[in-house]
Structure 1
């Protein structure tokens, strides 16, 4: 009865299309997978951000180092640290963009319940974009960790060589 009275008003057709609890439940169920992925990306970004902060702080400590200690040895670390910073920063940026794209997917899923225009292609394209951004972010994170591991191996090799030369 109430819908019949309000039917001529603009926007009421949206209420009619979404009045089905079942339809809204389906949209919520569809949006759960992207929402869980969003939570996972947030956890990985926490790790990435912590590594980025550590690298940035280490660079700053080296640049601010005075004459105490071996400044030349500290400054030799800068190129590897700078590469790590670049990779970590890219990882965070790509992952943030991926999280944003996944949020758009969730919004599009809910909007699709309210409009008659089919949004499936747009949802799929946005999902593919978000996955591409996530892969790029994880790839950058992998490069940062590989750069750190390579620098640690180089440092260990240098220490072994220095110890061997002292033993001779």
Structure 2
């Protein structure tokens, strides 16, 4: 089978998912060092996402979780991770496939990754066409975390 080009985008996407998997494995084994904490935004509509019905109703498209002070049962496999988080003193288990990830940010060291979705090529550009659920605050990570664009260091 002959290829017409190298799939750099797909290779980079898989490499970034592998990096996050490695980071989460380290945290599962050793805990979060120092001030490190993560804001992970994912598409709740993606196949394989498992979460409580009430959370899915509240976040029908996208959700940002914070891994910081209290989390349990962090288990990572090839396709994603399981974690139990505390929502208003209610522990809720969830499953997040790596393919559902949209952003991963560790604001303590100003590190972040943004995953471009394959579907976004077919969607309309993200113009400011009025407020939607992403602009009303609850999903936005506190603390002013920044997604670091890798283009910044490209010559």
Alignment TM class, shorter chain as reference = under 0.3
TM-score by length of 1: 0.25
* Greater fraction of residues in helix: 1
TM-score, normalised relative to structure 2:
0.26
Find the structure with the greater CA-based Rg. 1
Question: Whose strand fraction is larger, Structure 1's or Structure 2's?
Answer: 2
